[in-house]
Chains A and B, each alone.
Chain A
């Protein structure tokens, strides 16, 4: 047994040596590859980035994680960040980087590809795909005619305890920011308070809400449109749930990209931004990730509500002051 312990420790030391060799090897390798920090998962955009690489011959390496954590990482890395491009789940995170002066201005031809509401006012980031805030409801338990026309309807006593939301989620917070700008601070506060008093159930994020609606644990929930669509695709459309876009009080939120100010590979990074707004990439978003293409004059694919019919306030959703105001409101009302 004496020998066994020594042996396992020696194996460990040998493994460690091996790791050092690997590390040095990785360091000495000249890295020309474009480094993308992605807040969107590999399941969503891995194939797309690979296609970009094949088409342009630009090697790409991707680090996947959560958007807010990617932003925090870049800020902690400071000037030594290896990242060239940040691909964020929501524009609030891009706005934070822009406020810290960490983003590079994008070329005009790229910015012109989307409507003004989907790009940074200073031209520092651009949305590449859109998601609608919708109401997911259980088709066995709710008659679509009974769904309220606006979000205020969920404050009615008949919906008590039957609705779910995710106050800690970035998309929800962007939604509340939009409501504040559309309807005013007081009206949004009233809505949050009456929703809270109506025993709206708090979930961690979108996916658990959709699962809870499917299970019949709640009857409706405030989510992004594509989670249900993806689950339906995995399960051949057999799930007893559907999305509904209310006529008022909703918005289109964008996922987008920005180029880091420290990047030494700006031309390649711009090529990636351009590629993501090409027709083939936009078709990928529409068909594979089931999102809205944002390229202007793209034909609408699939059966979803046209973008024009989803009113979004003409505001900069990436504004950090707005985000802070929303968080303060959510915390004041005890929702978060």
Chain B
């Protein structure tokens, strides 16, 4: 049994590929990471340009009582949503990968799908179902319930965002669990720890990087979301930013507020970084990881299934029921409901390409930050990568409009520009997933490849990348699913006349043509489910992650 040192062995900060002994990482690695960082910095540069235009007016905007109150609201929302998402997502990942939960493969897929619902569609559906006079109330009406307590404001926004963000944690933790060597857990059990204590004391610390990656994504999502908070009447930072754009048509005041959001993100990242530590998460000694064992839930099997079922019902069932209802209404009224094939192709190709590019862009940044944790450059590049995700989509989209229309008119409003925008927006998803996965791979394996005559590049392609596969796939899945529902960048930067499922849903709901929104919404869920299924079908074929019953 190998000594899987999950706490005490400091991660080594040396890799044979380094030409300069003082500067970690090869030139090529640093150059690629630098390029990615520069791209991700564009929104920040744009915000500074717009802010400096109104330099004297900055301070009054910052100190307005309203700015402070929405700032406080956003922080509370992000904190609560992150906590909820971590608890639900971690539990769900463990239940669906490492236990004998009945129907776990079904739950694994179904509980991830809420990720593809645009948050405003989810919020519309939650209000229709759980609002004071929603569907639930009409079911309870025979019992004399005339009105349910209002879900608007903080509780509703928390509920909705938790339901739409826990899949981020779940996907990240799932990849980590699959790459986990079971020997430490087995050692703990053989030394007399109960299953629960072994999970807490041995597994949980090893899952930390994945949980942290998912938690960051959830927190940033909650900070930058506009659709759900506005429909659920919660006064958050993004709402204040949107009021400046749409009400006052004031790009500079909006930029000041958006910069505050960036500052908040850097604070969150710094907090996260301080708690990272120097632990190693890979196997310390030679040997092949043993097949993982499933924990037996015993009498808890059915309550656990009920837990998965109720979360899936709230997050996916309700939106599907409500869309189905819209569909039926439209059917009755004789609306034309035929889907358009080209729209599906557009959605899948743009999102698919963005997923691949995002993962490729994440690699140099992750390798630099994991293999050379002391590199300031790597840390800065990683922080830059998170900027896009913390900002409302409209800000990132306008920033890219500004740069590409003025300086790269040739690429403006082409599919390449759109993919670039997706990458800037969603790079952190690929980053988090790949990072958690790379932490599980011992640098010794790469070193062994080098001593056997591989060049650094060859070692990367033939040794590291294949081992990174769960992380790469998870990263691609996260980016793909999120791009499928992306709206502002698609509207601003896609080729003129380029429609996706998300733009169709938005166009229809915007003008209250709900029946017409139903078909693309159902297609969005269907196509995404199919993509997840294809991905996992490949993953299941892989023997390394096979789990013994």
Query: Taking beta carbons and an 8 Å cutoff, which residues of A are in contact with B?
Result: 1-2, 4-6, 8-9, 11-13, 15-16, 19-20, 22-23, 26-27, 35, 41-44, 61-66, 68-69, 71-73, 75-78, 80-82, 92-93, 96, 168, 170, 173, 201-205, 207-208, 210-212, 215-217, 227, 230-231, 233-236, 320, 323-324, 327, 331, 336
Contact between chains at A234 and B488 (CB < 8 Å) = no
Query: Which residues of A are found within 8 Å of B230, using beta-carbon distances?
Result: 168, 204-205
| Interface 9-residue window, one of B28-36, B177-185, B409-417 | B409-417
Is there a chain A Cβ closer than 8 Å to B394's Cβ?
Answer: yes
Chain A residue nearest to B472 in the complex (CB): A5
- B497 pairs with A327, CB closer than 8 A: no
User: With an 8 A cutoff between CB atoms, is B461 at the interface?
Assistant: yes
Whether B353 is near chain A, meaning CB under 8 Å from some CB there, is yes
Kindly identify which residue among A43, A82, A173, A212 contacts B511, using a CB–CB cutoff of 8 Å: A43
Q: Which of B410-435 contact A (CB under 8 A)?
A: 410-416, 419
With A and B bound together, what is the CA distance between A15 and B429 in angstroms? Answer: 21
Contact of B239 (CB < 8 Å), options: A65, A68, A168? A168
Q: Which of B133, B335, B412 contacts A80 (CB 8 A)?
A: B412
Give B318-346 as 1s and 0s: 1 = Cβ < 8 Å from A's Cβ atoms.
00000000000110110100000000000
How near does chain A come to B473, taking the closest CB pair, in angstroms? 8
Chain A residues with Cβ under 8 A from B515's Cβ? 234
Which residue of A75, A77, A96, A212 is within 8 Å of B131 (Cβ)?
A: A212
Residues of chain A within 8 A (CB-CB) of B497 are 61-63
Q: Which of B333, B357, B401 contacts A76 (CB 8 A)?
A: B401
Besides the known contacts A68-B245, A73-B492, A212-B131, 7 further A-B residue pairs in the complex with CB atoms under 8 A apart: A4-B542, A9-B360, A9-B465, A19-B416, A43-B513, A73-B398, A168-B243
Residues from chain A with a CB closer than 8 A to the CB of B398 are 72-73, 76
The answer, among B66, B356, B542, for a CB contact under 8 Å with A15, is: B356
| Residues of chain B within 8 A of A22, CB atoms compared | 415
Q: Would B131 and A217 count as touching, CB distance under 8 A? A: yes
The distance in angstroms between the C-alpha atoms of A233 and B465, with both chains bound, is 56
Chain A residues near B513 (CB-CB < 8 A): 43, 230, 234
Residues of A within 8 A of B411 (CB): 23
Interface string of B247-260 (1 = CB under 8 A from A): 11101000000000
- Asked if residues A72 and B491 are in contact (CB atoms below 8 Å), the reply is no
* B538 at the binding interface (Cβ < 8 Å): yes
Of residues 441 through 479 on chain B, the ones whose CB sits less than 8 Å from some CB of chain A are 461-462, 465-466, 468-469, 472, 476
Contact A230 B465 (CB under 8 A): no
Chain B residue nearest to A204 in the complex (CB): B230
- In the A-B complex, the 5 residue pairs with the smallest Cβ-Cβ separation, listed nearest first, are A12-B356, A68-B246, A204-B230, A77-B405, A2-B466
Known contacts A2-B462, A208-B231; A73 and B507 CB within 8 A of each other: no
Assess whether A43 is in contact with B516, with CB atoms less than 8 Å apart: yes
Minimum Cβ distance to chain A for residue B128 (Å): 7
Name the contact of B461 in the complex, choosing from A6, A173, A331 (C-beta under 8 A).
A6
Contact A324 B406 (CB under 8 A): no
Which residues of A are found within 8 Å of B352, using beta-carbon distances?
15
- Do residues A170 and B542 form an inter-chain contact, with CB atoms below 8 A? no
Cβ of A208 and Cβ of B127 under 8 Å apart? yes
Binary CB contact string for chain B from 344 to 385 against chain A (1 if under 8 A, 0 otherwise): 000001001100110010000000000000000000000000
**Distance in angstroms between the alpha carbons of A26 and B498 in the assembled complex:** 12
When C-beta atoms are compared, the residue in chain B nearest to A166 turns out to be B230
Which residues from A are CB-within-8-Å of B542?
Answer: 1, 4
- In the assembled complex, 28 residue pairs joining A and B whose CB atoms fall closer than 8 Å, in A order, are A1-B544, A5-B472, A6-B466, A11-B356, A23-B414, A26-B495, A35-B496, A41-B506, A63-B413, A63-B491, A65-B491, A68-B245, A73-B398, A75-B251, A76-B251, A81-B405, A203-B233, A204-B231, A215-B133, A217-B131, A217-B132, A230-B511, A230-B513, A233-B333, A234-B330, A235-B329, A324-B248, A336-B247
How distant is A20 from chain B, measured CB to nearest CB, in Å? Answer: 7
- Chain A nearest CB: distance from B187 CB in Å? 27
- Whether the pair A168, B242 counts as a contact (CB closer than 8 A) is yes
Given the complex of chains A and B, what is the CA–CA distance between A217 and B150 in angstroms? 9
Fill in one digit per residue for B391-411: 1 if any A CB lies within 8 Å of its CB, else 0: 000100010011001100111
Q: Give every chain A residue within 8 A of B461 (Cβ-Cβ).
A: 6
* B323 → chain A closest CB, angstroms: 14
- B residues contacting A by CB (< 8 A) are 66, 124, 127-128, 131-134, 152, 230-231, 233, 239, 242-243, 245-249, 251, 329-330, 332-333, 335, 349, 352-353, 356-357, 360, 394, 398, 401-402, 405-406, 409-416, 419, 461-462, 465-466, 468-469, 472, 476, 488, 491-492, 495-497, 499, 503, 506-516, 538, 542, 544
Which residues of B sit under 8 angstroms from A19, Cβ to Cβ?
349, 353, 415-416, 419
B332 x A236 contact (CB < 8 A): yes
In the complex, the answer to whether A41 meets B239 with C-beta atoms within 8 Å is: no
- Please pick, from A23, A64, A327, the residue contacting B416 in the complex, using a CB distance under 8 A: A23
For residue B401, give the distance in angstroms from its CB to the closest CB of chain A. Answer: 5
Closest Cβ of chain A to B217, distance in Å, is 22
B-chain residues with CB within 8 Å of residue A231 when the two chains form the complex: 512, 514
Q: A5-B472, A27-B410, A43-B508 are in contact. Are A66 and B134 (CB under 8 A)?
A: no
Q: Are A66 and B406 in contact, with the CB atoms below 8 A?
A: no
Interface centre among A2, A227, A233 (most CB of B within 10 A): A2
Would A72 and B245 count as touching, CB distance under 8 A? Answer: yes
How long is the Cα–Cα vector from A235 to B357 in the complex, in angstroms?
A: 44
Least distance between A176 CB and chain B CB atoms (Å): 11
The answer to whether residues A12 and B333 also contact, given A27-B410, A78-B406, A208-B231 and a CB cut-off of 8 A, is no
Residues A168 and B246 in contact, CB atoms below 8 Å apart: yes
Least CB distance from A211 to B in Å reads 7
* Chain B neighbourhood of A92, CB < 8 A: 249
A80 in contact with B496 (CB, 8 Å): no
**Do B248 and A323 touch (CB < 8 A)?**
yes
Could you say which of B406, B495, B507 contacts A41, with CB atoms under 8 Å apart? B507
Would A44 and B511 count as touching, CB distance under 8 A?
Answer: yes
Chain A residues near B413 (CB-CB < 8 A): 63, 82
Distance A272 CA – B490 CA, assembled complex (angstroms):
26
Instruction: Give B516's nearest chain A residue, CB to CB.
Output: A43
Asked if A8 contacts B333 (CB within 8 A), the reply is no
- Which residues on B sit within 8 Å (CB–CB) of A168? 230, 239, 242-243, 246-247
Closest to B535 in A: A8
Contacts A15-B356, A208-B127 given; indicate if A170 touches B233 (C-beta within 8 A).
Answer: no
- With contacts A41-B511, A230-B513 taken as known, whether A69 is within 8 angstroms of B133 at the C-beta atoms is no
A261 → B minimal CB distance (Å)? 16
Closest partner residue, chain A, to B226 (CB atom): A204
Which residues of B lie under 8 Å from residue A230 when comparing CB positions? 511-513
Residues of A within 8 A of B333 (CB): 233-236
Closest beta carbon of chain A to B466's beta carbon, Å: 4
Cβ–Cβ < 8 Å partners of A80 in chain B: 405-406, 409, 412
| Docked pose: A41 CA to B230 CA in angstroms | 20
- Nearest Cβ in chain B — how far from A135, in angstroms? 17
By a CB distance below 8 angstroms, the chain A residues around B507 are: 41-43, 64
Q: Which chain B positions have C-beta within 8 A of A201?
A: 152, 233
Chain A residues within 8 Å of B330, by CB: 234
B491 touches A327 (CB 8 A): no
**What is the bound-complex CA distance between A14 and B66, given in angstroms?**
50
Q: State A320–B419 Cα separation when bound (angstroms).
A: 36
**Which residues of chain A have C-beta atoms less than 8 A from B492's C-beta?**
65, 69, 73
Q: Judging by beta carbons under 8 Å apart, are A5 and B469 in contact?
A: yes
- Chain A residues positioned under 8 Å from B405 (CB to CB): 76-78, 80-81
Residue of A nearest to B251 (CB): A72
Please measure, in the bound complex, the distance between the C-alpha atom of A16 and the C-alpha atom of B349, giving whole angstroms: 10
For the complex formed, measure the closest distance between the CB of B280 and the CB atoms of chain A, giving whole angstroms: 24
* A4 contact set on B, CB distance < 8 A: 469, 538, 542
Shortest B77–chain A CB gap in Å is 16
Chain A residues near B124: list those with CB within 8 A: 208
**A6 to B246 CA separation, bound complex (whole angstroms):** 45
